[in-house]
Amino acid sequence: MTTAGKETMTDAAYRCMSQRKTEVEFARLWAEVAEVMHIPEEQLTRKKRQFYNELIEDRRFAALKGNKWDLRSRRKFEEVNSDTADLEDDSDDEAEENAEDETLDIPNGFESY
């Protein structure tokens, strides 16, 4: 529960997931949360997007293959953390390209405008 006494969608999802023994597809989790939270029909689409974004940001949850979700605490470290050592850092290349674009073309000697 939040300090205001209202449960957030991710809190409701955590409660639903805690009652399960295994992962669940996003669509099913969303249906459960929408029902528990009594979300009005006209708000379902907007709230679904909001819920998905909040779920991604909430460190209690782990996104799995096949758009399935589980509690991070039930997963092995390797399942929920990717190896960033294999990712290529392109930031140096981009900085060089931008530096080349920013050079000035100043005329030499009598070649003036």
CA diameter of the chain: 81
- What fold characterizes domain 9-81? Arc Repressor Mutant, subunit A (1.10.10)
CB 60 within 8 A of CB 14: yes
Percent of the chain past pLDDT 90, that is, above it, reads: 48
More confident residue, 71 or 3: 71
Enter the tokens of residue 72. 């991070």
Enter the tokens of residue 24. 């669940």
Lowest mean pLDDT among 15-24, 80-89, 99-108: 80-89
Strands (E), the chain: 24-25, 61-64, 68-71
Residue 65 has pLDDT above 70, yes or no: yes
The end-to-end CA distance of the chain, in Å, is 70
Question: Which pLDDT band holds residue 39 (cuts at 50, 70, 90)?
Answer: very high
More confident residue, 60 or 85: 60
- Give domain limits for the chain: 9-81
Mean pLDDT of the chain: 79
